[in-house]
A and B are shown apart, each in its own frame.
Chain A
Amino acid sequence: MAVGKKDIECPPYAEGTPLSDADIKQKKVTYVEDHPDIRYSWTAGQAISKFLNGLKEGKILGVKCNKCGRVMVPPRMFCELCYKPIDGWVELKDTGTVETFSISYIDPDARPLPEPVIVAVISIDGASPHMGIMHILDEVKPEDVYIGMKVKAVWKSEEEREGAITDIKYWKPMEG
């Protein structure tokens, strides 16, 4: 019942049955298929909820710990170094520094993108060094990006913002 062309030599006891996508589509073999409807709801929690509500107002919020003195972003309710609750909220600047970056030529389904996307970790000004978020860079060519580059957030308009990380459209290089 072998379907398709066999190019590989193997002993008869190890012989498989090659199948191509076309064999399936032409219903050369019998099969069952399913497309289960799997949904989830992920709760953001106290700290990230406040962070997202801040984005809606065009603000990047961080938290501070008075013991170690760190200003942390994304915010959390506990300082993981001091193992104690954080001490307060801090409004940060919407500027930062490229910590690291990657150029992506494919989308999450591994399909080629028409234009590459630059994904970067950006440490936020006003937070402790190397504290930052992952986001997208634009208005810059991939070959011109460098670690240490100063960048600024480009926000959606107030009406468009919905309290999501995508309320920042992308980050662009700061002039000068």
Chain B
Amino acid sequence: MIEKIVNPKELRHWDGRIELYWIYTSGKAGDEFFKKLMNEEKFLAAKCKKCGKVYFPPRIYCEKDFSETEFVEVSGEGCVRAFTVARLDAYEKPLEKPEIYAVIDIDGTDGCLIHLLGEVEPENVEIGMKVKPVLKPKNEREGKITDILYFKPL
């Protein structure tokens, strides 16, 4: 049998880094949505001209009947459909303050949004709770979903 390396210092390895960089554009409807939110603090949904389904976030066509949609304004308020409390961050480090993530059904639409809840303690959150969005100050907004800081109880 051939002699093998037993000293781990003689065993070699290579460290490398994979360069990866991407840009994901919001698309036609998403762009309208974020610009309206960023500039006018208003929420856009998209209503199917044929079946009347209201998409939130907006879509440029109806997924059910492929017909065109039209933009409609909604308040952005909604109800908590489901929620979870995160006590660790993405790297599994304990968070100083737990974060509450919720699926929020947006009033006047058939759609929903996943976002943070704020100004509420985890033990006081309940399903069906009415919430409203809290936005960043206008000069800090950049046309991203994080322009909404969180949703707070009404």
Interface residue ranges, A against B (CB under 8 Å): 1, 17, 19, 24, 27, 29-46, 48-50, 52-53, 77, 85-89, 163
Contact = CB atoms under 8 A, between A and B. Distances in A.
A35 B21 contact: yes
Q: Chain B, interface size: which category?
A: 20 to 34
Q: 6 nearest interchain CB pairs?
A: A30-B143, A44-B12, A38-B18, A30-B34, A49-B12, A42-B14
B30 interface: yes
Majority DSSP secondary structure for residues of A touching B = mixed
Contact of B21 (A33, A50, A53, A87): A33
A39 B21 CA distance: 14
Contacts, number: 88
B15 A41 contact: yes
Given A49-B12, A163-B12, A30 B31 contact: yes
Contact of A29 (B16, B18, B22, B26): B26
Contacts of A29: 25-26, 31
A88 B2 contact: yes
B42 to A, nearest CB: 15
A31 B14 contact: no
Interface stretch (B3-11, B44-52, B102-110, B129-137): B3-11
A19 B17 CA distance: 30
Nearest to B66: A13
Nearest to A87: B2
Nearest to A42: B14
A53 B18 CA distance: 26
A52 to B, nearest CB: 5
B23 A38 contact: no
A35 B25 CA distance: 15
B29 to A, nearest CB: 9
